[in-house]
């Protein structure tokens, strides 16, 4: 495995691999890897000749009062983990390497970015699309891998790829969870012991809401039940809980086939997100 930090070095590897007719799987991450990232990398290895994992805490997707500075970083740890699942190339650029000069050109995420996480994190998805666009151009992947934990991010990136004809396939994998249901996240390291003890209530609440919705078909009642579950089990502050169609992220109608129930909740100081994708038959659709 090689760790490269410059665009020039990455492009040389990509050029060589392309000339040998190799397929490329890209796993974009912000590092501090957990089993969710490792599952994406393993899948990328099964489906491609070369696996490139980017590790870059992207400043443009963080708001001024968010955790860019404190976001966990440990490249030595990540390198070992990535190697253990067969990653070939880690691309770990500096901020200056990725954004040498601000030319003032931005990418604006559309309607799908105005709700859920986008409502409480203005500009977040613009930054995600900016870095993902750069990574797609740099790594020229055949396939790019994203976790369904960021379901809204996946939906928006799929729209980018469709609307701007990126020649690649977006592959998604289900959320990887702790034994008690808490979704794996790099931000789980922020949780205190007492936060950690109550955090699974978010997943429980989503399950309760999904079951209620499948039983009675009433989205508002399902959301109310989920909110009550979180309020009873935690002292967390709910940012949002919503039930929408997926991947278009619109109000559900009788025609909706695929559903997303998603939540963001502050447990202590840590904002956690989680979701369930399901169809009327109840199974996960991702």
Catalytic residue numbers?
37
134 close to 261: Cβ distance less than 8 angstroms: no
Q: Which is nearer to ligand PAF, 90 or 128 (CB)?
A: 128
Q: Quote the CA–CA distance of 166 and 168 in Å, as a whole number.
A: 6
Q: What's the min distance (Å) between Cβ of 27 and ligand PAF? A: 9
Collapse the DSSP code of 96 into the 3-class scheme (helix H, G, I; strand E, B; otherwise coil) and give the result.
Answer: helix
CB 153 to ligand PAF: min, Å: 6
3-state helix, strand, coil in the chain (%, to 5): 45, 20, 35
CB of 194 to ligand PAF, least distance (A): 27
Distance CA 279, CA 282 (A): 5
> For 260, phi and psi rounded to 5 degrees?
-125, 125
Cβ nearer to ligand PAF, comparing 28 with 118: 28
Contact 161, 52 (CB under 8 A): no
Query: Rule CB under 6 A: which residues touch ligand PAF?
Result: 28-30, 58, 61, 128, 131-132, 150, 153
Least Å distance, CB 131 to ligand PAF, is 5
**Whether 128 contacts 136, CB under 8 Å:** no
Rounded CA gap, 246 and 4, in Å?
36
115 alpha carbon, distance to own chain's centre: 16
Which residue number, 188 or 234, has a Cβ lying nearer to ligand PAF? 188
For residue 283, what are the contacts with CB-CB under 8 A and spacing of at least 6? none
Work out how close the CB of 112 gets to ligand PAF at its nearest, in angstroms, rounded to a whole number.
15
Angle at 66 between CA 63 and CA 72, to 5 degrees: 125
Measured from the Cβ of residue 157, the count of other Cβ atoms closer than 10 Å reads: 25
Do residues 10 and 139 touch, judged by C-beta distance below 8 A? yes
Smallest distance from ligand PAF to CB 265, Å:
18
């Amino acid at each position: 495995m090689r760790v490269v930090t410059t665009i020039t070095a990455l492009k040389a590897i990509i050029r060589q691999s392309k000339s040998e007719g190799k397929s490329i799987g890209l796993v974009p991450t912000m590092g501090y890897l957990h089993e969710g990232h490792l599952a994406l990398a393993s899948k990328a290895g099964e489906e491609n000749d070369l696996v490139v994992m980017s590790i870059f805490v992207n400043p443009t997707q963080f708001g001024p009062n968010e955790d860019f500075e404190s976001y966990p970083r440990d490249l030595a740890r990540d390198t070992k983990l990535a190697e253990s699942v067969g990653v070939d190339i880690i691309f770990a650029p500096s901020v200056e390497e990725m954004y040498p000069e601000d030319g003032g050109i931005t990418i604006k995420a559309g309607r799908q970015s105005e709700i859920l996480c986008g409502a409480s994190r203005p500009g977040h998805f613009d930054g995600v699309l900016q870095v993902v666009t750069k990574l797609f151009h740099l790594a020229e992947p055949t396939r790019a891998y994203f976790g369904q934990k960021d379901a809204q991010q996946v939906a928006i990136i799929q729209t980018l790829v469709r609307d701007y004809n990126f020649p690649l396939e977006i592959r998604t994998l289900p959320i990887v969870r702790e034994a008690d249901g808490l979704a794996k996240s790099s931000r789980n390291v922020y949780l205190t012991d007492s936060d950690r003890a109550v955090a699974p209530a978010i997943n429980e609440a989503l399950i309760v809401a999904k079951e209620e919705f499948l039983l009675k078909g009433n989205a508002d009642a399902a959301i109310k039940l989920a909110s009550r579950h979180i309020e009873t089990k935690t002292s967390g502050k709910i940012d949002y809980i919503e039930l929408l169609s997926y991947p278009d992220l619109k109000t559900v109608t009788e025609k909706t086939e695929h559903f997303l129930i998603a939540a963001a909740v502050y447990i202590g100081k840590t904002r956690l997100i989680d979701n369930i994708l399901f169809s009327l038959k109840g199974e996960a659709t991702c």
